[in-house]
Structure 1
Amino acid sequence: MTAPTTGALRTDGATLHYEVRGEGPLVLLIPGGSGGAAAFDGIADDLAADHTVATYDPRGLSRSPLDDPEAEQRVAEHADDAHRLIELLSPGEPAQVFGASSGGIAALHLLATRPERLARVVAHEPPVVEVLPDAADQRAFVDRVEATFRAEGLMPAMAVFAAGLSGPAGGAEGDGGARPGSGSALPPRAAARAERTMADLPYFIGRIVPRFMRYVPDVPLLKTLTDRLVVACGRDSRGELPHRAAARLAGRLGREPEHFPGGHVGLTTHPAEFGEHLRKLLRP
């Protein structure tokens, strides 16, 4: 694995840690869940053979501290962070963006607000549950996660969250696949990543989940931008909430979803196939 060049970017209310590999047109990779830049370690080097590949820790996670640690989070701020990275790394040239899960929601908002800066957006299983016919039930589910976290703490809230997504505990929101376990059995970078993922879970459950899963995408506007938008699902996650939401969004846009290898965390479980599939969707 090639060591990336790292940097820090000041934005409104946060300092973003970002990593860059390769040369060529910019591809910005936005992680989901409590995953950070390292969530893309399995695919970044291959993409960097003919692209500048950038990823980062979203604000409030890992190495991207907030100025106010208690600040509420908004999708619009996270999308603006992605825009600022594009302005820094690809001034004057449109970029391509891949967003996983909650990162896919940020990517959708970025496309809706800054379409002139984007050549293509691939949103993999963004949990935009407000597009579903049972959106009211999903709002109640998010309310339960938030209330459980406040009253009982992290692990009971994680159990409610995992049950509602009908996916494996801790893995269904695009955390990049890092799992708790014995850090001593992992390579140093992987061990550090696992530690960061666990440390970031309270922030993710307490402030990312409630805001991102209440996000309402601008479907009529996105429908005018489908020439540069790909909504994607995992081949193995049918029936799970993020898959249902993404497939429904694609249908509302008049498109079929693109299917990637694996499930919601196919990025981690099938990195070679996942990366190759993404490469085929990127514009030259």
Structure 2
Amino acid sequence: MQLSSLLTVALLPLAALATPVPQDADVVSPSELFKRRTPTTCSIVRAAVNCRSGPSTKYSAKKKLSKGSSHSFVCVVSGECITLDGSTNCGWHYSLSAGCYVNGHYTSSQCTLDPQAPPPYDAEMEKGPLLLLIAGANGDATIFQQIAVPLSEHFTVVAYDRRGFSRSELQGPQNYETRLATDADDARRLIEHLSKTPAIVFGSSSGAVVALTLLIRHPSAVRALIAHEPPAVNLLAEAEALQWRTFFNDVYDVYREEGVKNGMQKFVAGVLTREEAEHLRARSSSGDAPERSAANIQYWFEHEVRQYTSADLDVGVLKNLADRLILAAGMPRATVSRIGRIKLCRRSLGWIFWNYQGAI
């Protein structure tokens, strides 16, 4: 069963779990699926920024934006098309070397997002409770694109590129020692930005680890959580957990010594069945642009393949929140070893477990 089918079956019965999201003016529905929106607070980091009316004109003194000043226009990194109303139709193509379009002006400014602002997100705003979808290893919201439309009949569906992936470009130094906590805090800020009530959260793979961390750190933000195949090996018996930590460390070593391709081959051979591997290759070949996908994979190798799989999740807190937590897994054949491992966690912790026939 495809991940989209799992989402449909698993999430539709949860439609009555939360109050519908208020139709606040700040979270107006985009006119089409997955239109880019960003926080509305930024600061100028250059001493002064010259603006011009378009990409073919010379710099002029139409407007000066001083260092340290704040402005109300939507702000993203240099080179992206932005306007005051959140639309993406600027009327001309942008250039990475030239700058951004800002409400009729063209500027080469580099902006830093407010550290307390929610991450950029994509949304299909229809009706029903807020459903936040957290992507796994590729960190990219578009993995949920096909399922977002049918789910939007019952939910306000929101997905986002996790910090450091795809369009969520990093701004300034990052503390990678606390990256998982920051990832969870990003999700919490987004929920609070969009809704006055807790959200239903779905996380897959690494995204499931983020979602579990969100539940542990910010339980008031989560009404219900579906964790789809979280690779949280420290929840296993120590002997098996050690085997998996060693495996993921070996995967990282192969990546560093032999490159992304060989590192990914070792990873796939160790965690996926042949059918799942073929499905992953087919999906990858029709997904992101090659350069975007490659950057995401490399970022995942550096900051997640060892760190997120070996995260120490607070089992005591999770036990106390078991009524909000559902573990889910796809199963292409009658028996798959990882399903047994997840069931073991379920038996010891008292979690609800949903098992689906079919590939993830």
TM normalised by structure 1 equals 0.78
Which one has a larger percent helix, Structure 1 or Structure 2?
A: 1
Pair 1:81–1:202, CA change in 2 (3 A)? same
The answer to whether the aligner puts 1:101 opposite 2:195 as a matched pair is no
How far is the alpha carbon of 1:246 from its aligned partner? 3.1
| Structure 2: runs of 5 or more not aligned | 1-30, 40-112
Letter in 2 for 1:253: L
**1:210 counterpart SS class:** coil
Instruction: Please give the alpha-carbon distance, in whole angstroms, between the structure 2 residues aligned to 1:11 and 1:170.
Output: 40
| Structure 1: runs of 5 or more not aligned | 181-185, 266-284
Instruction: Please give the alpha-carbon distance, in whole angstroms, between the structure 2 residues aligned to 1:14 and 1:176.
Output: 35
Decide whether the 8 Å contact of 1:148 with 1:156 is kept in 2: yes
Mapping of 1:172-187 within 5 angstroms? 178-180=283-285
- Matched residues, number: 252
Pair 1:34–1:240, CA change in 2 (3 A)? farther
**2:263 counterpart SS class:** helix
Where does residue 232 of structure 2 map in the other structure? 128
Where does residue 239 of structure 1 map in the other structure? 336
Decide whether the 8 Å contact of 1:30 with 1:103 is kept in 2: yes
Where does residue 3 of structure 1 map in the other structure? 33
Where does residue 149 of structure 1 map in the other structure? 255
Where does residue 278 of structure 1 map in the other structure? none
The answer to whether the aligner puts 1:204 opposite 2:322 as a matched pair is no
Instruction: Please give the alpha-carbon distance, in whole angstroms, between the structure 2 residues aligned to 1:144 and 1:41.
Output: 33
How far is the alpha carbon of 1:15 from its aligned partner? 7.9
Where does residue 76 of structure 1 map in the other structure? 181
How far is the alpha carbon of 1:68 from its aligned partner? 4.4
**1:39 counterpart SS class:** helix
1:95-128 Cα distance to aligned partner (Å, 9 max, x none): 1100011100111011111111211000000011
Higher RCO (C-alpha under 8 Å, 6+ residues apart): 1
Q: What fraction of aligned residue pairs are identical, expressed as a percent? A: 35
Instruction: Please give the alpha-carbon distance, in whole angstroms, between the structure 1 residues aligned to 2:280 and 2:189.
Output: 23
The answer to whether the aligner puts 1:29 opposite 2:133 as a matched pair is yes
The answer to whether the aligner puts 1:167 opposite 2:273 as a matched pair is yes
2:312 corresponds to which of 204, 213, 216? 216
Decide whether the 8 Å contact of 1:145 with 1:157 is kept in 2: yes
The answer to whether the aligner puts 1:17 opposite 2:120 as a matched pair is yes
Range with bigger deviation, 219-228 or 5-14: 5-14
**2:192 counterpart SS class:** helix
Pair 1:127–1:175, CA change in 2 (3 A)? farther
Decide whether the 8 Å contact of 1:28 with 1:53 is kept in 2: yes
Instruction: Please give the alpha-carbon distance, in whole angstroms, between the structure 1 residues aligned to 2:144 and 2:230.
Output: 17
Decide whether the 8 Å contact of 2:327 with 2:353 is kept in 1: yes
Where does residue 250 of structure 1 map in the other structure? 346
Give the ranges of 4+ consecutive aligned residues of structure 1 lying more than 6 Å apart after TM superposition.
174-177
How far is the alpha carbon of 1:50 from its aligned partner? 2.5
Pair 1:61–1:207, CA change in 2 (3 A)? same
Instruction: Please give the alpha-carbon distance, in whole angstroms, between the structure 2 residues aligned to 1:14 and 1:225.
Output: 27
Instruction: Please give the alpha-carbon distance, in whole angstroms, between the structure 2 residues aligned to 1:177 and 1:6.
Output: 26
Range with bigger deviation, 18-27 or 230-239: 230-239
Range with bigger deviation, 92-101 or 249-258: 249-258
How far is the alpha carbon of 1:146 from its aligned partner? 1.6
Pair 1:166–1:240, CA change in 2 (3 A)? farther
Instruction: Please give the alpha-carbon distance, in whole angstroms, between the structure 2 residues aligned to 1:255 and 1:156.
Output: 36
TM normalised by structure 2 equals 0.63
The answer to whether the aligner puts 1:137 opposite 2:240 as a matched pair is no
**1:120 counterpart SS class:** strand
Decide whether the 8 Å contact of 2:33 with 2:123 is kept in 1: no
Where does residue 281 of structure 1 map in the other structure? none
Instruction: Please give the alpha-carbon distance, in whole angstroms, between the structure 2 residues aligned to 1:66 and 1:245.
Output: 35
The answer to whether the aligner puts 1:59 opposite 2:158 as a matched pair is no
Instruction: Please give the alpha-carbon distance, in whole angstroms, between the structure 2 residues aligned to 1:144 and 1:13.
Output: 36
Pair 1:4–1:157, CA change in 2 (3 A)? closer
Pair 1:201–1:260, CA change in 2 (3 A)? same
Where does residue 59 of structure 2 map in the other structure? none
Instruction: Please give the alpha-carbon distance, in whole angstroms, between the structure 2 residues aligned to 1:256 and 1:32.
Output: 21
Where does residue 4 of structure 2 map in the other structure? none
How far is the alpha carbon of 1:248 from its aligned partner? 2.9
